[in-house]
């Protein structure tokens, strides 16, 4: 006797959902059954949203944050922002936690990672050249380094400081108390506000 199981199409759906980050076997099963119960429209809506996001979402050619593919992001094109402040983060996902504290009105720059020789990530693998170009265009601007406080984050901050200071800009570092290596998304808003307000020139 063969043990009873879901039909193959449902097993396939569960298998696909299980591959997604943060979704285990039970969660995948619950989601798949939920979609079946909702009917065809719900599945079509999700499929459409997935395809649309893949087709339309890209990275801002200026700062590296998410944007409509091929276009600059809404921060880079906002004339009300202070273009003489550039906040440097490791990943695009670090931008929104800073935005949500409501204190910062400048531009961003996403490096795409941090210097980590052990993992083979060197400065040339990050968006450093682009940062240098942007800072060079803005004499006297302030560059706020909002990279992590772990060893790689410190090494990245030190390296960037050396590259940026000769460009006639001020370089500051977020105050201590930031999460080490976990991304800014793990910091609560109050901690981020204090870290921004307490930033120090380095």
The only residue of 14, 17, 28, 63 in contact with Zn ion, by rule CB under 5 A: 63
What is the closest distance, in whole angstroms, from the C-beta atom of residue 161 to Zn ion in the complex? 23
Which residues are within 8 A (CB) of 151 and not within 5 positions of it... i.e. 6 or more apart?
Answer: none
Q: Is 94 in the site for Zn ion (CB under 5 A)?
A: no
Q: Do residues 89 and 187 touch, judged by C-beta distance below 8 A?
A: no
Two tokens, residue 58:
């890209």
Q: Is 73 in the site for Zn ion (CB under 5 A)?
A: yes
Q: How many CA atoms lie within 13 A of 183 on its CB side?
A: 12
Tell me whether residue 29 or residue 62 sits nearer to Zn ion (CB atom). 62
How many residues contact Zn ion, by CB under 5 A? 6
What is the closest distance, in whole angstroms, from the C-beta atom of residue 74 to Zn ion in the complex? 8
Degrees to nearest 5, angle at CA 193 with 84 and 156: 60
d(C-alpha 199, C-alpha 64), whole Å:
23
Q: Is 111 in the site for Zn ion (CB under 5 A)?
A: no
What is the closest distance, in whole angstroms, from the C-beta atom of residue 100 to Zn ion in the complex? 17
What is the closest distance, in whole angstroms, from the C-beta atom of residue 87 to Zn ion in the complex? 12
d(C-alpha 13, C-alpha 35), whole Å:
10
Count CB neighbours of 63 within 10 A: 25
Q: Is 76 in the site for Zn ion (CB under 5 A)?
A: yes
Q: Is 60 in the site for Zn ion (CB under 5 A)?
A: yes
d(C-alpha 51, C-alpha 111), whole Å:
27
Two tokens, residue 4:
């009873």
Tell me whether residue 65 or residue 104 sits nearer to Zn ion (CB atom). 65
What is the closest distance, in whole angstroms, from the C-beta atom of residue 127 to Zn ion in the complex? 11
Q: Is 131 in the site for Zn ion (CB under 5 A)?
A: no
Point out which residues bind Zn ion (CB under 5 A): 60, 62-63, 65, 73, 76
């Amino acid at each position: 006797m063969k043990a009873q199981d879901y039909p193959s199409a449902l097993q396939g759906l569960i298998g696909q959902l299980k591959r997604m980050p943060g979704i285990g076997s039970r969660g995948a099963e619950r989601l798949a059954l939920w979609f079946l119960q909702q009917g065809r429209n719900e599945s079509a809506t999700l499929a459409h949203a997935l395809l649309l996001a893949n087709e339309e979402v890209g990275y801002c050619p200026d700062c590296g944050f998410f944007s409509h593919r091929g276009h600059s992001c809404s921060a880079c094109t906002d004339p009300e922002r202070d273009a003489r402040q550039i906040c440097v983060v490791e990943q695009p996902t670090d931008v929104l936690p800073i935005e949500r504290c409501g204190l910062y009105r400048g531009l961003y720059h996403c490096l795409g990672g941090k210097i980590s020789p052990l993992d083979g990530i060197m400065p040339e693998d990050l968006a450093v050249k682009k940062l240098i170009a942007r800072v060079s265009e803005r004499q006297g601007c302030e560059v706020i380094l909002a990279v992590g406080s772990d060893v790689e984050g410190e090494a990245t901050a030190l390296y960037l400081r050396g590259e940026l200071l000769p460009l006639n800009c001020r370089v500051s570092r977020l105050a201590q108390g930031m999460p080490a290596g976990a991304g800014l998304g793990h910091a609560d808003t109050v901690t981020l506000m204090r870290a921004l307000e307490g930033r120090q020139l380095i």
